[in-house]
């Protein structure tokens, strides 16, 4: 199940970006059909003319210099069409100041003054990922919380997303009847409820991220939050989906056996 909610498309600003198509889920090349700034002003910034296909990367990076100085804070919309399924995907690239990683006041203000900007995160606008992102074998409450986390994440509200993912983990513990005085203890108790220790460790990671988001006011990257979403998806697969599939296979085997015995 490949439903990571961050956009995994490389070279978004090239004629032929590549990555996972949000429609057909295959690894594909896209045709770059439209690029424009949609905030704070609407400005068309088409990706270079002409050259198409495989030879694009041969001559190095294409000239993508925009005609006017862009705003530091801006949202750029890209419309890509998949070369396999031909459906379009719309993504928003959120730009902001290129700040130094360490907290150094001087470097910080210099970076702000230089007005250099960088891509802060990329959000898939369409096709929308919905709350049915989690397999329907999972309880509704778990799917609801996870879906809300995904929507927070898509909106760039990463702390809220982390908090919702933590709540999702809490709900999984509740559903499995895990006991303990706090969430950490409950997650640990999942081992006694038929959940593998590997899954337990992953869920504990999700808990930790959600904890930070509420108490320490730390910021984290889209990738970190996405990783936690993936951990939950994997855990849900192992806890809810796989046992259901096993049961279905067992039932199918039983029916075949019964049929065999019924035939004279």
- Shortest Å distance, C-beta 23 to Zn ion: 4
The two structure tokens encoding residue 236: 């849900």
Which one of residues 3, 23, 33, 211 is an interface residue with Zn ion (CB under 5 A)? 23
Of 1 and 85, the one with the shorter C-beta distance to Zn ion is: 85
Q: Which two tokens stand for residue 34?
A: 């439209």
Closest approach, Cβ 48 to Zn ion, in A, equals 23
Mark the segment that binds Zn ion (CB under 5 A) among 18-26, 53-61, 100-108, 134-142.
Answer: 18-26
Residues of this chain, 50-89, that bind Zn ion according to CB under 5 A: 82, 84-85
Nearest to 29 by CA among 81, 72, 64, 79: 81
Minimum CB distance to Zn ion, residue 31 (Å): 11
Q: Which is nearer to Zn ion, 21 or 76 (CB)?
A: 21
With contacts defined by CB under 5 A, name the span among 14-22, 103-111, 224-232, 242-250 that binds Zn ion. Answer: 14-22
Q: Which of 236, 86, 96, 214 is nearest to 159 (CA)?
A: 214
Please tell me whether residue 24 binds Zn ion under the rule CB under 5 A: yes
8 Å CB contact between 121 and 222: yes
Q: Give the count of residues interacting with Zn ion (CB under 5 A).
A: 6
For 240, other C-beta atoms within 10 Å of its C-beta total 20
Q: Which two tokens stand for residue 179?
A: 């006991």
Least Å from the CB of residue 9 to Zn ion: 11
Among 21, 169, 173, 229, binds Zn ion (CB under 5 A): 21
The least CB distance from residue 128 to Zn ion, in Å, is: 16
- The residue among 8 and 117 lying less far from Zn ion, judged by its C-beta, is 8
Instruction: Restricting to residues 212-231, name those near Zn ion by CB under 5 A.
Output: none
CA distance 34 to 90: 9
Q: Which residues of 148-185 are buried (b: 16+ CB within 10 A; e: fewer)?
A: bbbbbbbeeebbbbbbbbbbbbbbbbeebebeeeebee
Q: How far is the CB of 250 from Zn ion (least distance, A)?
A: 35
- 131: Cβ–Cβ under 8 A, 6 or more apart, which residues? 143, 144, 146, 147, 148, 150
Least distance (Å) between residue 28 CB and Zn ion: 5
Query: Measured from the CB atom, is 36 or 84 closer to Zn ion?
Result: 84
Please report how the helices 197-215 and 158-175 are oriented relative to each other, as an axis angle in degrees rounded to 10.
Answer: 140
Among residues 208, 209, 191, 211, the alpha carbon closest in space to that of 200 is found at: 191
Binding region for Zn ion (CB under 5 A) out of 13-21, 69-77, 144-152, 201-209: 13-21
Catalog residues that contact Zn ion under the rule CB under 5 A.
Answer: 21, 23-24, 82, 84-85
């Amino acid at each position: 199940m490949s439903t990571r909610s961050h956009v995994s498309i490389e070279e978004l600003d090239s004629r032929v970006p590549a990555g996972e198509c949000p429609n057909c889920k295959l690894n594909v090349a896209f045709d770059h059909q439209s690029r424009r700034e949609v905030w704070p002003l609407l400005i068309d910034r088409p990706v270079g003319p002409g050259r198409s296909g495989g030879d694009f990367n041969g001559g190095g990076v294409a000239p993508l210099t925009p005609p006017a100085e862009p705003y530091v804070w801006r949202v750029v919309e890209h419309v890509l069409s998949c070369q396999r399924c031909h459906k379009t995907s719309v993504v928003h690239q959120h730009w902001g100041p290129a700040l130094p990683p360490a907290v150094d006041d001087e470097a910080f203000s210099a970076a702000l003054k230089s007005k250099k900007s960088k891509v802060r995160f990329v959000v898939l606008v369409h096709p929308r990922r919905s709350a049915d992102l989690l397999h329907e074998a999972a309880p509704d409450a778990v799917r609801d919380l996870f879906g809300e986390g995904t929507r927070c994440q898509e909106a760039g509200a990463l702390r809220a997303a982390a908090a919702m993912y933590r709540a999702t983990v809490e709900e999984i513990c509740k559903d499995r009847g895990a006991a303990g005085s706090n969430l950490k203890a409950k997650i640990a108790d999942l081992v006694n409820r038929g959940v593998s220790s590997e899954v337990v460790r992953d869920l504990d990671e999700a808990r930790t991220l959600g904890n930070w988001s509420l108490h320490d006011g730390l910021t984290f990257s889209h990738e970190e939050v996405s990783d936690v979403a993936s951990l939950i998806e994997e855990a849900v697969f192992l806890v809810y989906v796989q046992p259901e599939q096993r049961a279905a296979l067992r039932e199918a085997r039983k029916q075949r056996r019964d049929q065999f015995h019924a035939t004279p």
